[in-house]
Structure 1
Amino acid sequence: MKIALLQCNAVTGDVVGNVERIAAAAREAAAAGVDLCVTPELALVGPEPGSYARMVDFADGCGRGLDLLAEAVRDAPPLLVGAPVRSVYARGLLSNAAVLCRDGQWQVTSRKVGVGGMSKEGRVFELGLSCGILTLGGWRLGIALCDGEADGESPFWEIQYASGHNPLMEMIQRGVDAIVHMSATPFCRGAQELIEHRLSHVAARHHVHLFSVNLAGGFDSGVYGGQSVAFDPTGQLLARGRAFEEEVLVVDTAAGAGDIHPSCACAEESMWRALTLGVRDFVGKCHAEKAIVGLSGGMDSALVCAVAAEALGPENVLGVLMPSPYSSEGSVTDARALAENLGVRTVTLPIEPVMRAFADTLRPGLGLFPEPAGGDTTFENVQARIRGVLLSSLANRARALVLNTGNKSEAAVGYSTLYGDTVGALGVIADLTKTEVYAVARWFNTARGEELIPRAIFDKAPSAELRPGQKDSDSLPPYDVLDPALQHLLSPDPHGLPLSPVEQDVRARMFAAEFKRRQEPPALYLSDMPFGGGWQVPMSGRYRMPR
């Protein structure tokens, strides 16, 4: 059998456009003489449709989309497409289904297996149904829709219901020759190797071919990394799709062959490619072309600017320098050198006159309150808020999006100013710790073979330059202490030894800063525990445990 894995980049909600994209990929696969084409799950409507699925015309629109797609691929090989369809069991719910388009008609072949509960899917899609089997060209294909289970909690490959029902074993016992795995698994750093190991194990253990197709594209916070894979019945890798790119991946089981594209060489490369894809698709799918980045001369804004230039083209990025009286000359020259290296235009807007105007305007109001005993940060925060206003105003005129430059270490402990350095449409590096920011920046320079991010930016001590001589370390533990503590606290299973004093301090700050994080821009998720993803902490709670 020749099977084509259509590693597509769907736009959520754009059924009309997705039909065209899938049909074009299917026609490309037909030219290669394939017997079957397979898309990722929900390819017809895009990943995580959320409340789109509650709209009164959603289900009918998906049905009409399937009619159009079936007609468009009438002369192409059979196509398995992931799509929402009406449930036949639960009134008002949908099924996340695999639909077979053949000879101008379509029919549901399989429905997603899940464990139910309070997941986002569980509110719109029915869960817990069995997988289907498709007979084609003498092959019996078991069709499974499920995520790749990068977190290791496998709700499909190892699920065992209380009734004793096991969907995987049910397929195997029914005598399948292959498993077709339709997935929409977001990128998570370090997870691809685990996913491939698990799928290889399933293929070898049950002596079946296994074809797994994944999305490739950015959707809000999620970045889908592609890298669809195929394994033979010994668990040997037959094919792997390109990372972070659309592709029609053809696998020939008779020849035991397919293209095996390399995985990313290191974690830093995978993070860089996830960031650039996430920015490119977020900006493009929000119907924009240009981005604005505030350049401080520091590492965070340098990396975000480099990502934006790569993702959108340097001609579509504007770097904005907003020096205050406390900005060092080096920070200004470093920011300009970075922009020149990247080919990005800049504009310089000194904020000292606006600072004076704010001070004059605020004086009557501030006089009503005594100065805080621990020191007053009012005018430090004013600087950040002035910069936020300037960036937002330029974005209005340019019809551009502001890319936020905050990192995960700062967000964790609330080291940011609301309505100031938290402004922006997207938190590009908001799921990277400060340590990871430097690591990706070093990789970028090495991969490009030149110091596009100037050496001076690496060498200087991190600082927001809000007052003379100010450094991040005045308010925070050193990042080489803070980041390991943060990683321990956010790990999937943080149990074990008692928390160290540093970890206790970081946790207290982290809980206290939740109200800030809820008001920050959406982040590109790259880790297994991003803020705003699996992390959920009450804003008004108080964590106190008896000892």
Structure 2
Amino acid sequence: MKIALLQCNSVTGDVAGNMEHILEDVQQAAAAGAELCVTPELALCGVAPGHYLCAEDFAEGCRKALDHMAETLKGGPALLVGAPVPSVYASGLLSNAAVLVHKGTWQVASRKIYQGGQSGAQGSGPDAEDSRYFDKGISCGILTLGGWRMGVVLCEDAHSEEEAFWKTRYASGHNPLMELVQRGVDALIHMAAAPYSEGAQAAGEHMLSHVAARHHVHLLSVNLVGGNDSRVYNGQSLVFDPTGQLLARGKAFEEDVLVVDTAPSAPGGASSGGKAPEPLCASVEEDCWRALTLGTRDFVRKCGAEKVIVGLSGGIDSSVVCCVAAEALGAENVTGVLMPSPYSSEGSVADALSLAQNLGVATVTLPIEPAMTAFAQVLAPGLDLFEARPGDTTFENLQARIRGTLLSSLANRAGALVLNTGNKSEAAMGYSTLYGDTVGALAVIGDLTKTQTYAVARWYNAHKGEQIIPQQVFDKAPSAELRPGQKDEDSLPPYDELDPVLEDLLLPAAPPVGDNSSPLRLEVRSKLFMAEFKRRQEPLALFISRMPFGAGWQAPVAGRYRLP
């Protein structure tokens, strides 16, 4: 039996567009002889639809799409599509379901179980968000097609390192996968929407291979691809034979139609048409780069924009963001804005211009000294009301806010989005100015530490085979250049010391990095918690780590971490 995994990039809420896209993929798969096509979870309506599900006509629109697909495909292959359908348990609720479209009709083949039930799931991620809107559902379903008994699982947990999805027991007491195995199936079809994070693909492949071999079944896992707000889905759909051997892997960070043949006559019991599995990315940095470019491209385009504005300081952060933007959207859609102050070094301005020239990005230079002078004059009567404090950063923060205003104003005129250039190390320590360098629609590297940002930048230059990001950008000490001679290390620990402690605090390891009560660890932890109020007001960041801010991370804004 030939089965096609449709690794599609759905736009959340665009049921009409997603429907047409899926039908095009089915047509392509049918031309290759596919008898069954399978989409990722919620492919019809898009992942994490949230309150779209509460709109009166949304569920009806999904039903009409299923009706149309059934009519269109009545003479074609069967389609197993992820879609919301009315609950059979609770009036007014929907179920996250796998729907079989076949021979001119459609029916629910499987419904998803949520660990947190109708009142909301514990934890974080797409499952926790979706559980607020979907009912608990029932266990997994079995469909019979072409003489095959196939168990259908809707599950995001297969790529979780902490808890192998085949061992998960839900609040209802069910273990979906084991229930299917015990009922007897020839194959398991896993419809996923698993976001990218470092190391998740390798862990997921190991787990799925184990499942296939342990229970001696074919296992086909189709995963979503594309950017959806903060999350990026990497695709890389998988097919394993009953020995656990990997037969096929879909493209990474690209749409794909992966056709496999489960015929017993094929070597190993299945075949991907003689095509070797798509390779994994060669390095963590390449994975990260592809996730950032895909996430940026989809965020901008799915928001209905084409152009972006990037503030260029001559530093590593803005350099990497500008490179990502040019790769994702085309250099012609990126404008770099230089906003030197009296404290900006000539080298920084030259480095920013050199980067833009290497990328083919247009630039504009807007010196901010006149605005600084005007603000100082306007503010003077008000500032005179307050006594100056040690460490007063009023005029340093003012520079950042002037720059934020200029970027936002240019974006208004151009109909563009501002890409924020802050990194995770700065966000963690509160090393930013609200309404200044925190402006932007998307924080492209907001989930990369400073150390990771340098690593991605070095990989990018090596990948391009030339020094796109000037060497001087790597060589100089990081600085916001808000006062003469300023360096980041004036306010923060050196990044090579800060980042390992930060990562350990966000995702505790055993044993912890260094002394648990060392001055450095205590300083980092204190600043980390104190900066939560800033992070709540920063733009969306593209998630690439296992613990990004704004997802699993939660800390009080009005709190004080102090122990006896």
Same fold per TM (> 0.5)?
yes
Distance 1:338 1:162, change over 3 A: closer
Q: After the TM superposition, which residues 16-165 of structure 1 pair with which residues of structure 2 at under 5 Å, given as runs? A: 16-116=16-116, 117-118=120-121, 119-127=128-136, 129-154=138-163, 156-160=165-169, 165=174
Q: Which residue of 1 aligns with 2:553?
A: 535
Offset at 1:90? Answer: 1.6
- Is contact 2:4-2:259 (8 Å) kept? yes
- RMSD (Å), alpha carbons: 1.3
One-letter amino acid of the structure 1 residue matched with residue 361 of structure 2: V
Matched, 1:315 2:332: yes
Q: After the TM superposition, which residues 292-441 of structure 1 pair with which residues of structure 2 at under 5 Å, given as runs? A: 292-372=309-389, 374-441=390-457
- Whole-Å separation in 2 of the counterparts to 1:109 and 1:163: 19
One-letter amino acid of the structure 1 residue matched with residue 494 of structure 2: P
Q: Which residue of 2 aligns with 1:487?
A: 503
- Whole-Å separation in 1 of the counterparts to 2:171 and 2:423: 43
One-letter amino acid of the structure 1 residue matched with residue 27 of structure 2: R
Please give the secondary structure, in 1, of the residue aligned with 2:167: coil
Q: Which residue of 1 aligns with 2:481?
A: 465
Q: Which residue of 1 aligns with 2:516?
A: 498
Matched, 1:274 2:291: yes
Q: Which residue of 1 aligns with 2:279?
A: 262
- Whole-Å separation in 1 of the counterparts to 2:27 and 2:155: 26
Distance 1:162 1:347, change over 3 A: closer
Task: Output one character per residue of 1:69-112: Cα deviation in whole Å (capped at 9) or x when no partner.
Answer: 22222232000000000100122221100000012211000001
Q: Which residue of 2 aligns with 1:206?
A: 215
Distance 1:500 1:128, change over 3 A: farther
Task: Output one character per residue of 1:244-270: Cα deviation in whole Å (capped at 9) or x when no partner.
Answer: 000101111222322410111000000
Determine what percentage of the aligned residue pairs are the same residue: 69
Offset at 1:384? Answer: 0.3
Offset at 1:152? Answer: 2.2
One-letter amino acid of the structure 1 residue matched with residue 3 of structure 2: I
- Is contact 1:299-1:437 (8 Å) kept? yes
Distance 1:83 1:292, change over 3 A: same
- Is contact 1:326-1:467 (8 Å) kept? yes
Offset at 1:64? Answer: 1.1
- Is contact 1:150-1:188 (8 Å) kept? no
One-letter amino acid of the structure 2 residue matched with residue 243 of structure 1: A
- Whole-Å separation in 2 of the counterparts to 1:44 and 1:76: 18
Match of 2:458 among 423, 436, 442: 442
- Is contact 2:3-2:35 (8 Å) kept? yes
Offset at 1:545? Answer: 2.6
Deviates more, 1:258-267 or 1:115-124: 115-124
Deviates more, 1:40-49 or 1:145-154: 145-154
Distance 1:10 1:410, change over 3 A: same
Q: Which residue of 1 aligns with 2:534?
A: 516
Match of 2:303 among 267, 271, 286: 286
Offset at 1:190? Answer: 1.4
- Is contact 1:27-1:73 (8 Å) kept? no
Task: Output one character per residue of 1:175-201: Cα deviation in whole Å (capped at 9) or x when no partner.
Answer: 100000000011001110000000000
- Whole-Å separation in 1 of the counterparts to 2:237 and 2:28: 17
Deviates more, 1:487-496 or 1:200-209: 487-496
Distance 1:414 1:19, change over 3 A: same
Please give the secondary structure, in 2, of the residue aligned with 1:123: coil
Task: Output one character per residue of 1:261-297: Cα deviation in whole Å (capped at 9) or x when no partner.
Answer: 0111000000000000000000000100001000000
Matched, 1:242 2:251: yes
- Whole-Å separation in 2 of the counterparts to 1:521 and 1:161: 34
- Whole-Å separation in 1 of the counterparts to 2:68 and 2:230: 30
Distance 1:95 1:162, change over 3 A: closer
- Whole-Å separation in 2 of the counterparts to 1:474 and 1:402: 28
- Is contact 2:115-2:171 (8 Å) kept? no
- Is contact 1:114-1:155 (8 Å) kept? no
Offset at 1:167? Answer: 2.0
Q: Which residue of 1 aligns with 2:178?
A: 169
Offset at 1:121? Answer: 1.9
Offset at 1:163? Answer: 7.1
Please give the secondary structure, in 2, of the residue aligned with 1:44: coil
Please give the secondary structure, in 2, of the residue aligned with 1:361: helix
Please give the secondary structure, in 2, of the residue aligned with 1:411: helix
- Is contact 2:85-2:95 (8 Å) kept? yes
One-letter amino acid of the structure 2 residue matched with residue 264 of structure 1: C
Task: Output one character per residue of 1:403-434: Cα deviation in whole Å (capped at 9) or x when no partner.
Answer: 00000000000000000000000000000000
Offset at 1:504? Answer: 1.3
Offset at 1:164? Answer: 5.6
Please give the secondary structure, in 2, of the residue aligned with 1:469: coil
- Is contact 2:195-2:233 (8 Å) kept? yes
- Whole-Å separation in 2 of the counterparts to 1:162 and 1:361: 61
- Whole-Å separation in 1 of the counterparts to 2:554 and 2:401: 27
- Whole-Å separation in 1 of the counterparts to 2:216 and 2:158: 21
Offset at 1:543? Answer: 1.7
Offset at 1:67? Answer: 1.0
Please give the secondary structure, in 1, of the residue aligned with 2:541: coil
- Whole-Å separation in 1 of the counterparts to 2:88 and 2:530: 46
Offset at 1:492? Answer: 5.2
Offset at 1:165? Answer: 3.7
Please give the secondary structure, in 2, of the residue aligned with 1:144: strand
One-letter amino acid of the structure 2 residue matched with residue 42 of structure 1: L
Distance 1:80 1:364, change over 3 A: same
- Is contact 1:408-1:429 (8 Å) kept? yes
- Whole-Å separation in 1 of the counterparts to 2:197 and 2:517: 26
- List alignment gaps of at least 5 residues for structure 1: none
Offset at 1:26? Answer: 0.3
Offset at 1:123? Answer: 1.3
Q: Which residue of 1 aligns with 2:125?
A: none
- List alignment gaps of at least 5 residues for structure 2: 122-127
Please give the secondary structure, in 2, of the residue aligned with 1:465: coil
